[in-house]
Amino acid sequence: MCREPAQEIRQKKDLLVVSHIDADGLTSAAIICTALERAGLNYRPIFFRQLDEPALDEISDYNPDLVIFTDLGSGMIQQICDRALAAVVVDHHKPASSQARPMAHINPHLVGADGALHLSGSGTSFLLARALAATSEGNDDLAALAVVGAVGDLQDMAHGQLTGINRHILEIGSKAGAVSFGRDIKLFGRQTRPVYKMLEYSQDPYLPGLSGNEDACIAFLREIGIRLGGERWRRWIDLSQDEKANLVSAIIRKGLRSGLAAAKLERLIGEVYVLLSEQEGTELRDASEYSTLLNATARYGHAQIGLSVCMGDRDRAFSEAQRLLSQHRQNLVNGLKLVAERGITCLQSIQYFDAGESIQDTIVGIVAGMSFQMADRSRPILAFARTEGEDLKVSARGTQDLVRSGLDLAEALSASARAVGGVGGGHNVAAGATIPAPAQQKFLELVDGAVGRQLGL
């Protein structure tokens, strides 16, 4: 699938790598940039919040020999080709209907796979990087970054593990000694977060009596005999196997007593991914924490910092990324407080909040997902934020339970945004849109109706 574009790429001199500003976009760019570097090719990376006409104007101004779009581009194939850009599009979002053909278009949807579940943007980029390698196994170590991108895109959440083509990439990375995988607790922060904080911030599953309550989490650990620590709070990786087993059993018992369905508690345990070349106890050791660190760079206009980390900088770039991560966490806390103060408005099939200018449009989607701890989990949640211009940024998040019931946020937001003069897309469980501010109410009505039809409400 990737051999022909790989041959074309090797013949170009001035390469532009264009990618998205999230963990999947950063790892996608890093995989391609590393592969180009190893092949002795010159490249320039550039990142965008979204690929639209102004972005294509900027790209055209570079006058590159070839543009490699990673983790975006499939929705703008016609516009890319209309500008006569020599382009390779390496994406996993649903392609827009178009008769235009770039030099190459690599996308799982084109071969019947699900880009929200079976292959991420970074995974698609890895397939191309593998074809660019001088030897058959030359870029196999980059599978670790593809795993980080897939986890950052939440592609392991539906089944508790990576599936489809992602699984094949994971096995390549494991064989190369770059990543290991196995079943463990799925709560975020296994490498760096104190155990009580893991429980406090648990959202999927939401743990009644523990999630959102720091004092209750500390009391719970003491009650079951888990030592919290001395000078330093103990993390999950600091616990013995017996302590881990005891804690998981106690959480399940407490959840069942609180009326939590067994199916939801099953999500407590799943597959986790460890990057073997990274130092234990750092954010880079665990794929989930690594992806969060990357989001803390690119979503605040520091994509180059995240790219440098992905490409091996463990000095200045990593230190700066950790500083940005600390700020990112505080911004998320502030965002959740804002949502709690302003409240969430429920419609027939959806719920929403409007952050105005109080939450950056680049992180409002993360806040939306975290807001499920105080929201109705039987409806998807939409969040609105002001952009730098006159438009509204919309981020929508659902749950896997809703997707299993028929939810497709990408379809609902894309059609509704188009109807009000905006653009939208994404995945079934998470999607986004940009719409004219005056069209907000009409857009809400359209999405509410679309989701209602999907869920049979």
Annotated domain spans of the chain: 3-169, 188-316, 343-455
The pLDDT, as a whole number, for residue 3 is: 61
Q: Which residues of the chain have pLDDT under 50?
A: none
What Cα–Cα distance (Å) separates residue 431 from each residue in 212, 343, 396, 413? 26, 22, 5, 7
CA dihedral 342, 346, 347, 348 (to 10 degrees): 180
Per-residue pLDDT tens over the stretch 346-400: 999 999 999 999 999 889 999 998 888 778 889 999 999 998 777 899 999 998 8
| Pairing mode, strands 66-70 and 43-48 | unpaired
| Token duo for residue 112 | 């019947």
E strands present in 331-440: 345-346, 351-354, 381-386, 391-397, 423-426, 430-436
The pLDDT, as a whole number, for residue 272 is: 97
The answer to whether the 3-169 and 343-455 domains have the same CATH topology is: no
E strands present in 26-65: 43-48
For residue 413, count CB atoms less than 10 angstroms from its CB and return exposed for 0-12, middle for 13-18, buried for 19 or more. buried
What angle in degrees, to the nearest 10, is found between the helix axes of 287-298 and 23-38? 90
Tell me how far apart the alpha carbons of residues 96 and 109 are, in angstroms, rounded to a whole number.
11
Q: Does domain 3-169 have CATH number 3.30.390.50?
A: no
Tell me how far apart the alpha carbons of residues 177 and 167 are, in angstroms, rounded to a whole number.
15
Tell me how far apart the alpha carbons of residues 226 and 247 are, in angstroms, rounded to a whole number.
8
The pLDDT, as a whole number, for residue 322 is: 97
Tell me how far apart the alpha carbons of residues 198 and 70 are, in angstroms, rounded to a whole number.
33
Strand partners, 371: none
Tell me how far apart the alpha carbons of residues 438 and 453 are, in angstroms, rounded to a whole number.
25
The pLDDT, as a whole number, for residue 141 is: 97
3 state DSSP class of 184: strand
The pLDDT, as a whole number, for residue 14 is: 84
Closest Cα partner for 94 from 415, 371, 328, 339? Answer: 415
What Cα–Cα distance (Å) separates residue 112 from each residue in 119, 165, 414? 11, 11, 20
Q: Which CATH class is domain 343-455?
A: alpha beta
Per-residue pLDDT tens over the stretch 335-348: 989 999 999 999 99
